[in-house]
A and B are shown apart, each in its own frame.
Chain A
Amino acid sequence: MSDDTALLEVRGVGKRFGPVIALADVSTTVAAGQVTCVLGDNGAGKSTVISLLSGVHRPDEGEIRLAGVPVDFAGPRDALAAGIATVYQDLALVPLMSVWRNFVLGAEPTRRFGPLRRLDVRAARETTRTELAGMGIDLRDVDQPVGTLSGGERQAVAIARAVYLGARVLILDEPTSALGVKQAGTVLRHIAAARDRGIAVVFVTHNPHHAHPVGDRFLILKRGRSLGDHAKGELSRDDLTRLMAGGAELDDLAAELDRP
């Protein structure tokens, strides 16, 4: 993948929190219509990558380019305005509110003006239904409270909402980690659907089995450093798993645990 196709590009970024080097010299690219997976164990620096891309923190070294232009976000609002949306693990959904009220929250469609300005409920419901359907999500009823949805369905609603709100780059923080096998599979389908709509997806996960089928590019992190930034063709799933677990370490562990 050459630089001119990359929508989001990370060049040698580093971040320090006091004496702790959270991230050092990490580079990767995310292209429109492709999925870049950020993999790593706990403490590898995945959350720091998210915080830099979503404008929560500023990198101390290196630069982030959006569509070829270096960006410097003052905060999450800036990143959001530039089209970088983040779906965090808590999803930012209100359980007691209906699916459609959650979906349009903060960007509610209205009709009429002045004191007569009011929520366009029909448009909101319709938008929710069509946007969810466009992502391959079939909800029986957009009037039900979000709290009654399954974990996978909630994740799907949050992803579809970010897409609807105009995300060009979509950052997903461990969207499959709390889910069962079947639901995780469904969420992977939604990630592919977002990708197929031309969105650049950053899929952060610790699970190589989830990353490999959907990813086009893999950034593997360990203790704040990059273990490699590979295109899909360069790695098999086994390679990915081994890299993730620290290759040689896993072999040592296997030897150690092996019955004599």
Chain B
Amino acid sequence: MDNILEISGLNKHFGKKIALDNVGFNIKKGHIVGLVGPNGAGKSTIMKAVLGLIGTDSGQIKVEDELISINNHPALEKVGALIEYPGIYPYMTGREHLKLYATGANAESNIDQIVEELEMTKYIQMKAKSYSLGMKQKLGIALALVNKPEFVILDEPMNGLDPQANKLLRELIVKQAKAGTTFLISSHILSELGKIADDIVVIEQGKIIADAPIDEITHADKKLIILETSDDNKARQILKENNYAVADENKVIIQQNKEVTLAKILRLLVESGIDINDVKHQNAVLEDSLLQILKDDEK
């Protein structure tokens, strides 16, 4: 079986509000999947449903081919998760939290390992009530990872983390994914997910509006040429007349590929009497393409 998670036809109402609208997607084993969407889109709701924390109106969720419901979910044995904000007992130390949840023969060494990996050694013996937001967040992540789960669900894990901790976490996720762990990670910081995710699922107002490998969504293979000319309007017109696809924006933006090369474009414009003041190259980034997806969907 290739998929560790299979979701189909999921619907959920909160009162009159539709939280999930026929949500369905699969996650392949060993993949890092980014769940992306604006706040209130339904990211946490999906994750909570997968973890058997909330009931749904219809649809089904399977983890390792076993159905998940709020009262029966033995398949979650090998799942680790951090949902919304870390649940922490203020009167216990970080290490005591890890001890509470760590299971199996290697519990102690697993605790030591995750504490070291997340660089929490300095404060792990302190009571959690003295922790900063970022420290609590790290502890929440450590709790999700301590038992070396096969499937990890992290809801906005970068929340409250400083850039250094952020980098540390990304590296840890990539390392564990290479070792075979599957990740479902939600975030509204798209660039963070773009750096690590294999696939992206985009959700808006409870609906999945895109579900594809990251390359397809980011068009990372597509390079843009951005020109500043003596007469941008005229340049755009000439390029269009010569069958180049030009974006309708203030600058002159052309997508580069094997047929469309910078040399050809420059020659055409110079021959038409237009001076080129500046040339820039840019890779299409996740934010732009995602915005495009969200925009397209509104139409």
To the question of whether A and B form a pair in one complex, the answer is no
B-side interface residues toward A, CB under 8 Å?
Answer: none
Interface, chain A (partner B; CB < 8 A): none
